[in-house]
Amino acid sequence: MEFFTISLLNGVSYGLLLFMLSAGLTLIFSMMGVLNFAHASFYMLGAYFAYQVSEWTNFWVAFVIAPVLVALLGGAFERTVLRKTHKFGHVAELLVTFGLSFVILELVQLVWGRTPVEYKVPAALDGSLFKLFNSTFPTYRAFMMVVAIGMLASLFLVLKKTRIGLVIQAALTHPDTTEALGHNVPRVFAFVFAGGCGLAALAGVIGGNAFITEPGMAQAVGAIIFVVVVVGGMGSLGGALIASLLIGVMQTFAVGLDWSFIGGLQSLGVDVTPETFGYPVWKLKLSQVAPILPYLLLVVMLVVRPKGIMGTRDE
């Protein structure tokens, strides 16, 4: 019970962080058809900017400034580079963001070095929120969940209840008509791209000190958020939310469990020894398999339901 509750809370907070990342990616993809390969790099930039700003001032200033800075950078990239490659098609757009992720990684190493930086949780949020049996739940985890849910709610409100959101939704499905009605669709695209990068950066600000701020952090989540987007269904925000929570909870539980096939088979009365066929597979513990679970989920999903959880069209 204790393990279950704590793991569930940790899993949900990790899942929400994944959703903050994949929300921006999904928005950009569904709107512009651009898969932003550098999305996780903007997440990393958010963490590093927050570290730098909080060194100079404090965490709360960084919390506001870092996402804005990254959003501006993202918007500038869209205006100057990405828009130029639009005429060459989606492959070129994907390639240009792939190149960008390369450059950002190198620049980050150039400016902040190759070792992790000391980006710490602010003192006000350090410590434990409550104690359940013998385990404590860190305050910062709760803070992460609050920020993620707040972001989710405001994203929903902006998209569904404001005029800007209406224009964005219209530009999503009918760009030509929206343009004919007098809206500057390229500007809306730049705005959405910047917004998506800002969201990724916000995830970096709160994720960077919860986990670790180092040059490898972009690659660590990069592939997983792609899995989230495919499993959730390309371009579906709701699907991305379900997939993020699923993967977050699944991975958190798996890390804590030492189950293996051997244990399961032995409880069924089958004896497994090192001589048994396929022993290397049977002896693996669930905690060892945890890193590949999201990718296994991807494979299973593609075989069973290629359009994803909430996907609408099957390409």
Partner 1 sequence: MSNAAMKPLHFKPLNGVRIVVWSAFAVILLLLPVLARSNFAVTLLCLTGIAAIACMSYNMLLGQAGMLSFGHAVYTGLGAFVAIHAMNKIGGGWPIPMWMIPLVAGFAGLGFGALLGFVTTRKAGTPFSMITLGVGELVFAAALMFPEFFGGEAGINSNRTAGSGWMHGLGLNFGGQIQVYYLIAIYLFLCTAAMYAFTQTPLGRIANAVRDNAERAEFVGYDTRWVRYLIVMASSFFAGIAGGLTAINFEAATADLVHGTRSGGYLLFTFLGGVGFFFGPIIGAVLLIFSLVVLSELTKAWQLYVGIVFLIMVVFAPGGISSLLMLNLRRIKYGEWRKMRWPYAGMVFFGLIALWGFAAIVEMAYQAQVAAGSGSVVTVARIPMDASVLASWLIAAAVLLFGGICFEIWRRKFNKVWGEGEERIAEAIKKAEAAIV
Residues that bind partner 1 (CB under 8 A): 29, 33, 35, 81, 84-85, 88, 90-92, 94-96, 98-100, 102-103, 105-107, 109-114, 219, 222-223, 226-227, 229-230, 234, 280, 284, 288-289, 291-292, 294-296, 298-299, 302-303, 306, 315
Nearer to partner 1, 145 or 218 (CB): 218
The span from the CA of 8 to the CA of 110, in Å, is 38
Rounded to a whole number of angstroms, the minimum distance from the CB of residue 173 to partner 1 is 18
Nearer to partner 1, 137 or 261 (CB): 261
Nearer to partner 1, 116 or 165 (CB): 116
Rounded CA Rg of the chain: 21
The span from the CA of 14 to the CA of 21, in Å, is 11
Nearer to partner 1, 99 or 150 (CB): 99
* CB burial of residue 224 (10 Å; 0-12, 13-18, 19+): buried
Rounded to a whole number of angstroms, the minimum distance from the CB of residue 228 to partner 1 is 10
**What are the residues whose beta carbons fall under 8 Å from the beta carbon of 10, sequence distance 6 or more?**
141, 252
Rounded to a whole number of angstroms, the minimum distance from the CB of residue 248 to partner 1 is 17
Nearer to partner 1, 34 or 199 (CB): 34
Rounded to a whole number of angstroms, the minimum distance from the CB of residue 270 to partner 1 is 21
Q: Which residues pair with 137 in a beta bridge?
A: 130
Rounded to a whole number of angstroms, the minimum distance from the CB of residue 145 to partner 1 is 26
The span from the CA of 169 to the CA of 175, in Å, is 9
Nearer to partner 1, 144 or 227 (CB): 227
Q: Which of 173, 171, 203 is nearest to 190 (CA)?
A: 171
Kindly list the distances between the CA atom of residue 186 and the CA atoms of 78, 166, 176, 254, in Å, as whole numbers in the listed order.
10, 16, 11, 44
CB distance 185 to 171 below 8 Å: yes
Dihedral pair phi/psi, residue 131, rounded to 5°: -115, 130
Nearer to partner 1, 90 or 183 (CB): 90
**What are the residues whose beta carbons fall under 8 Å from the beta carbon of 261, sequence distance 6 or more?**
272, 281, 282, 283, 284
Rounded to a whole number of angstroms, the minimum distance from the CB of residue 8 to partner 1 is 24
Strand ranges in the chain using DSSP code E only, listed in sequence order: 128-132, 135-138
> At how many degrees (to 10) do helices 293-304 and 217-232 cross?
20
Rounded to a whole number of angstroms, the minimum distance from the CB of residue 158 to partner 1 is 25
